[in-house]
Chain A
Amino acid sequence: MDQTINFKEVTHTYQADTPFAQNALNQVSLTIASGSFTAIIGHTGSGKSTLVQHINALLKPTTGEIEVSGRTITPATTNKNLKQLRKHVGMVFQFPEKQLFEETVIKDIMFGPKNYGASDEEARSDAQQAMALVGIDEDLQDKSPFDLSGGQMRRVAIAGVLAMKPEILILDEPTAGLDPRGHKEIMDLAEDLHEHQGMTIILVTHQMDDVVDYASDVIVMDQGKIVKHGRPQEIFSDPQWVYQMHLDLPSSAEFASRLITAGVPLKSVPLTIDKLADAIVEAVQGGHVHE
């Protein structure tokens, strides 16, 4: 099935027709290619979370329409028959460990597949596969999710979404509050799902290093609008603009731009540590380094 996501002039207003009305999305048009790893970045309150919640119709556009997974979502779309769409679009919310509720880990992970009509056996095998994917030990499956550590709880919650075998996976700041190791594990998992299972990944994040390390496409949002959509290289090529958007540079680029202001002649702004190392080696061998 074609999994391209298409937004056509989508506007979303929260609490329309009240004094609290707030325009969160403003005439957003965009296409997210099937099988891409897209990062959505932007200042807090720029509309990132609102945007991604449209993809599985948790929010419906005030005007405009969205095509996803062969379905068209318009302002008139009702809540009926959205289950099938939501099965295709897995959504991991911020702090997903808050959504755990079952008595045991395995039951919680089986919850999603069972809601979509899987039998107990199917759900159990899906759940075990998902547990293996996110790296939860099988011994933990009969424990209460509330006895686990924060990092483990998060992985159980993510497994609960993966067990539904979505084709599109939305991750809304999946690594917020995790230690560096947990952070890397979750991001590597996302990359693995993208590369080996062909999942379309949409990542909402504030971590620019993750953006350059993992994403193939970047969408920059500001005040409910999409201000740039392109490859990481294009997005970060203009540091001044990035700062204007209240965003940070990836740490390598940041370091490189400081080297450049200090007089080290780097040829380009490298986005990853490897590229930075290459650029420095090149500069040193070129013999232009000041003592």
Chain B
Amino acid sequence: MSNFLFGRYLPGNSWVHQMSPQSKLMLSFYFVVVIFFANNIWTYAALSVLILMVVLMSGVSIGYFLKGIRPLIWLIIFTVLLQILFSSGGHVYWHFGPFSVSDTSLINGGFIFIRFLLIIMISTVLTLTTTPLAIADGVQTVLRPLKKVHFPVDTLALMLSIALRFVPTLMDEMETILNAQRSRGVDFGSGSLRHRIQAAVPLLVPLFTGAINHAENLSTAMEARGFTDSEHRSKYRIYRWQRKDTISWAVFLLVGVLVLFIRKS
């Protein structure tokens, strides 16, 4: 778990850190959409240069980034292999039964690899430079228009921020329970599948009962502090749109338009 970078926050004070969470969220979303428009080497190059710039401006070292991607590399390789072995068309170099390798499948495989990398990079930048609570606030701001169709945006945001707040707490608890059961002689992660599933029970039951206890205590404490509903509340943290957001959006929109122009139609 400890070298799993995805979804962690790294404190800092860079350009990317200072942007408002709602614009970062939308920007990441927009970027992922743009990635799917890219279809030739030049479009991917443009997007790669952009993401490299973003990573540099986030103040996080690139080596650290690559290390964070490592746990996901098998998933990427698996998908790329599927793409290479099963897609058809183009000049065939090698084939065996249903498998074949051709120049188009190799190129497509390469594109999918870059695509994965770009998506992981942008979302890692987002989570590394934004606190979980800021992300929850950002989601609330972004979803605000849905209020018009009576979607419970505030309740969702509350649930989201509570969930995010309790992720580390529950992780800690899991660690402790894991260790406690280990000292009582449980072997986690070895033996037959049946054995492993059985070994999960002494971990899961306490984890669930713990979570229920947390929920009960938290709801009581919230009521005692005058919480009645999530609609009629004021906000303590306010994230305003800044110049940095406007400039970043301008750059991203420019690259987006560029991609639309140089893609193969």
A90 at interface (Cβ–Cβ under 8 A)?
Answer: yes
Residues in B neighbouring A115, C-beta threshold 8 A: 184-186
Contact indicator per residue, chain A 90-130, by CB within 8 Å of chain B (1) or not (0): 11011010111100000000011001100000000000000
Total cross-chain contacts (CB, 8 A)? 67
Contact indicator A98/B176 (Cβ below 8 Å): yes
Docked Cα-Cα span, A19 to B209, in Å, equals 34
Question: Given A53-B179, A93-B176, A99-B177: A161 and B184 within 8 A (CB)?
Answer: yes
Partner of A98, one of B2, B173, B185, B190: B173
Residues of B within 8 A of A (CB): 2-3, 10, 64, 67, 173, 176-177, 179-187, 190, 201-202, 205-206, 209-210
- Please tell me which stretch of A81-89, A205-213, A233-241, A277-285 contacts chain B, meaning at least 4 of its Cβ atoms lie within 8 angstroms of it: A81-89
**Residue A244 at the chain B interface, CB threshold 8 Å:** no
Cα distance, A53 to B183, chains bound together (Å): 10
* Apart from the given pairs A18-B67, A98-B180, 14 other A-B contacts in the complex at a CB distance below 8 Å: A14-B2, A15-B3, A80-B190, A86-B182, A87-B185, A89-B183, A91-B179, A94-B176, A98-B173, A98-B210, A99-B177, A111-B202, A112-B184, A160-B184
Using C-beta atoms within 8 Å of the partner chain, give the interface range for chain A: 20 to 34
Q: Tell me the chain A residues, 18-67 only, with Cβ under 8 Å from chain B.
A: 18-20, 53, 56, 58
Tell me the bound Cα distance from A36 to B85 in angstroms.
66
Chain A hits for B190, CB < 8 A: 79-80
A-B contact pairs, 30 of them (CB 8 A): A14-B2, A18-B2, A18-B3, A18-B67, A19-B10, A19-B64, A20-B2, A58-B183, A79-B190, A80-B190, A83-B187, A86-B182, A86-B184, A90-B183, A91-B180, A91-B183, A93-B176, A93-B179, A94-B176, A98-B173, A98-B206, A98-B210, A99-B181, A99-B202, A101-B202, A101-B205, A101-B206, A160-B184, A164-B184, A164-B185
A58 CA / B176 CA spacing, docked (Å) = 10
Q: Which residues of B contact A18 (CB under 8 A)?
A: 2-3, 64, 67
Residues of B close to A89: CB separation below 8 A: 183
How far, in whole Å, are A93 and B181 apart by their CA atoms in the complex? 10
